[in-house]
Structure 1
């Protein structure tokens, strides 16, 4: 688990200062590979640069990226971040929930990719943010501190300064930032529960994640909001933030998200199900997952802030159809 160290202060407020301890899962891994896992909020290229410059160390020593860890080493970052100039500003509309001098809270629509990447070099949230506030070019990844999948909608926070970025990343890593989702899954579920299962790369399909021995710890809490016969409307909260965590954990329970083509098995027929419900589920174009609420400490004064978004139209329409109403 990655643990933040001293909060920035004074003239060092803009520096990124983080600490992580390599556990048994990183034993035998290369230094750069372990760093990519332990400091997942930063790109591999940035981590490699910090390793080469000595800003990222092992037990206080500079080591080559190929250095093999034994487990138990302390990895530290003490770096001055550089502007990320790879993304260009684009006039993409944003749904701004809140904005002040330190942060921006946005409601990301389904279909919008967060960062430029292979297959999505432009047209992303990062491009949109740089158009909204050009000064975000001086903050890593235009201030984005956490991600949502392309087809997951909902609330995200963006840091507008290096100090805010460092403090928000620290909250994520210390698990003091709360993220609450709503989801629609297949099947009937118990009133509430917790999934505590490690997540890592699928052993045969590297594009997917899976519950695997030796994966990174992952904890998901859920409770039933509405029983919908052959489906269940859930509230889901995360203690950890692994890639595709909710989707993987719900699929592991045998209750994949409606519309999740990557982690959901092809559904069999359900006796007596209204044909309109069958059509609504079959035609839903994405995983039924929305980041509804975000609770954090404001980076300026440490005051608790709570931001909430409405369910998007497609999600509300799906719920209406499953309840037997009109969409």
Structure 2
């Protein structure tokens, strides 16, 4: 398959790596030529780091699969799949999709990386709306492989299956979101955890640092290789139903306290920011992000080795 990646911010760069390291030809386009040129340099650096970590065999070969498209017409010519990464703005996407729907070949799949906007919001009026869907990655997708595939009411089942096949081909982990909901699945789960985390800090139950420790050295250790349903299935002698009978009343009691839906207050955000900056000064954020990516690479390498040993 031939791929076009539209928009060369962090997500666009990462998608280009995903497709190129799998050996697929990628055309990279951005309305901002300076951003486009900068992206290629960043992609080259990221691929080299992946090679250093043993997650890409030949960085130079992967990079050679990526070509710059100077015009939108050139980017769309002959491609089978478009991964759009424009700003999270429904109006911008609506205008852009109206344009590319008239330019791309009829069988070309048009997929959006949007984090929360249902595809129906920006594809309803398109003649080719049946070939549009959301393919929402986790940042960065070349390290975190889950991709949420969410169709609109008019997306063709064939388009979903073709997209799923493509994601499997490039070693992503596609999951199907069966109906449109704001934020899809991952961000709704993340949002639920964040809301309770902020509530516990706001009520003086725990510090920001200790909350993070609870997740990274508690829940997160299990969640790095199993989901919440498998977790509870293994946490009671007779499985999931047994767990629910034992702990369901506790969770119901806790849920009764979690109906608050007010936005996070400025005071709460400022206090959380203060505690984080005490742990990590602002000028060290970039280095910590790079450290995070290195740790993710090590974790992914470990998981891949484990999967290979169990084949």
Aligning the two structures, in what range does the TM-score lie when normalised by the shorter sequence?
under 0.3
Point out the structure with the larger helix share: 2
Q: Name the TM-score, length of structure 1 as normaliser.
A: 0.26
Point out the structure with the larger strand share: 1
